[in-house]
């Protein structure tokens, strides 16, 4: 269903909370994806505009804003020498804000490669098959009815499914931060190569079709919002491309010109400009709200 803001009489306060903030006031909850970063830096430099604002949340008590989605965009602007960035601010306690997991499709690196290198990682236990409590929906995504706590039992970290449909699962029974460290070591086996991509589905036939040299699918234990906060407040980060943030509403196509961000205007003046721009868009009935799932082909 597509709703036109003008016809539905939505007000400014019902739009996403958009602000321009200092890049120095942001903190990452995950590492940027180095494979995606170079292309993004080049594209931002060529297009001279930021289309979609990163998603951040304010943990309160004077702490820095936590980047929930958009680590690559933030890192690209830092590399390009910018000091300010437009963001969408969301409340971490919003019941409609959920954190899910991406899966990682890995090409070329097969079961033998992972078995050999996993054996070098201390503090993990490997067993055959999925944990019994993991229930994948018809579309290959974790079912909405799943209890996230159920799949964390006994220190479950992730599962690796080979192209022949055999699976191993990896465990670590330590504290959350110990588990994050082990996940970093596991994902380091492939994230720094050009062979991996994040996906939202798990069907092997589809993966083999979309990735001609597909060898391994990595699926992760879920992280809830409070765990993400705990990781950040401890000064740690999750590996790139694990968390997937689901929002009640998301701003896309903002198209902020980078020349504005680099201008000598103060942060207050830039935010005033942003507010006036949004008011003009509302007055011109130029904003649309899409309630259904949306695919963005230019990220």
All residues at 6 or more sequence positions from 44 whose CB lies less than 8 Å from its CB, including other chains: 50, 73, 76, 77, 80, 258
Rounded CA-CA distance 186/180 in Å is 10
Whether 119 has a pLDDT exceeding 70, the answer reads yes
**How sure is the predictor about 35, in pLDDT bands with cuts at 50, 70 and 90?**
confident
Whether 16 has a pLDDT exceeding 80, the answer reads yes
Tens of pLDDT, residues 124-170 = 999 999 986 655 544 445 444 445 455 555 799 999 999 999 999 99
Higher pLDDT, 248 or 161: 161
Rounded CA-CA distance 213/209 in Å is 9
Tens of pLDDT, residues 81-115 = 999 999 999 999 999 999 999 999 999 999 999 99
Structural domains of the chain, with CATH: 2-97+247-290 (3.90.1530.10), 101-219 (no CATH)
Rounded CA-CA distance 222/213 in Å is 27
Mean pLDDT of 199-212: 96
pLDDT of residue 14: 80
pLDDT of residue 43: 87
- Give CA separation, 19 vs 14, 87, 88, 167, in Å: 15, 6, 6, 45
pLDDT of residue 13: 58
| Of 32-36, 249-253, 282-286, the least confident | 32-36
Instruction: Calculate what percentage of the chain has a pLDDT beyond 90.
Output: 71
pLDDT of residue 288: 82
pLDDT of residue 12: 55
What one-character-per-residue DSSP string does the chain give?
-EEEHHHHT--GGGS-EEEEEEGGGEEESB---HHHHHHHHHHHHHH-EE-SPPEEE--STTPPEEEEE-HHHHHHHHHTT--EEEEEEE-TT-TT-EEEE-EEEEES--HHHHHHHHTT-TT-EEEES--TT--B-TTSSB-TT--TTGGGGGGEEEEEEETTS-EEEEE--S-HHHHHHHHHHHHTTTTTSTTEEEES---HHHHHHHSTTEEEEEEE----HHHHHHHHHTT--BPTT-EEEE-S-------EEHHHHHSS--HHHHHHHHHHHHHHHHHTT--EEE-S----S--
Mean pLDDT of the chain: 88
pLDDT of residue 134: 59
Contact call for residues 109 and 216 (beta carbons, < 8 A) = yes
pLDDT of residue 245: 93
pTM (two decimals): 0.85
Contact call for residues 157 and 186 (beta carbons, < 8 A) = yes
| Of 14-18, 50-54, 102-106, 200-204, the least confident | 14-18
**How sure is the predictor about 41, in pLDDT bands with cuts at 50, 70 and 90?**
confident
Contact call for residues 50 and 254 (beta carbons, < 8 A) = yes
Instruction: Calculate what percentage of the chain has a pLDDT beyond 70.
Output: 88
Whether 66 has a pLDDT exceeding 50, the answer reads yes
**How sure is the predictor about 116, in pLDDT bands with cuts at 50, 70 and 90?**
very high
pLDDT of residue 298: 63
Burial of 139 (0-12, 13-18, 19+ CB in 10 A): exposed
């Amino acid at each position: 269903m597509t709703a036109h803001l003008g016809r539905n009489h939505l007000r400014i306060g019902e739009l996403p909370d958009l602000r321009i903030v200092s890049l120095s006031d942001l903190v990452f909850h995950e590492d940027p994806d180095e494979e995606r970063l170079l292309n993004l830096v080049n594209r931002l430099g060529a297009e001279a505009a930021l289309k979609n604002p990163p998603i951040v949340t304010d943990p309160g008590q004077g702490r820095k804003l936590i980047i929930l989605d958009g680590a690559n965009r933030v890192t690209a602007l830092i590399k390009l020498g910018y000091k300010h960035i437009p963001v969408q601010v969301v409340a971490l306690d919003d019941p409609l804000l959920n954190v899910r997991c991406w899966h990682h499709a890995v090409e070329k690196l097969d079961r033998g490669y992972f078995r050999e290198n996993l054996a070098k990682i201390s503090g993990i236990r490997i067993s055959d098959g999925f944990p019994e409590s993991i229930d994948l929906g018809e579309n290959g995504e974790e079912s909405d009815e799943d209890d996230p706590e159920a799949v964390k039992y006994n220190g479950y970290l992730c599962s690796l499914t080979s192209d022949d449909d055999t699976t191993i699962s990896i465990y670590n029974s330590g504290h959350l931060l110990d588990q994050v460290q082990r996940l970093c070591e596991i994902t380091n086996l492939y994230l720094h190569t050009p062979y991996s991509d994040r996906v939202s589905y798990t069907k092997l036939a589809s993966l083999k079709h979309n990735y001609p040299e597909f060898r391994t699918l990595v699926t992760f234990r879920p992280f809830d919002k409070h765990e993400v906060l705990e990781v950040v407040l401890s000064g740690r980060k999750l590996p790139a491309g694990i968390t997937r943030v689901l929002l009640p509403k998301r701003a896309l196509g903002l198209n902020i010109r980078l020349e504005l961000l680099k201008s000598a205007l103060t942060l207050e003046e830039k935010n005033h400009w942003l507010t006036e721009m949004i008011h003009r868009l509302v007055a011109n009935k130029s904003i649309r709200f899409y309630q259904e799932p949306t695919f963005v082909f230019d990220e």
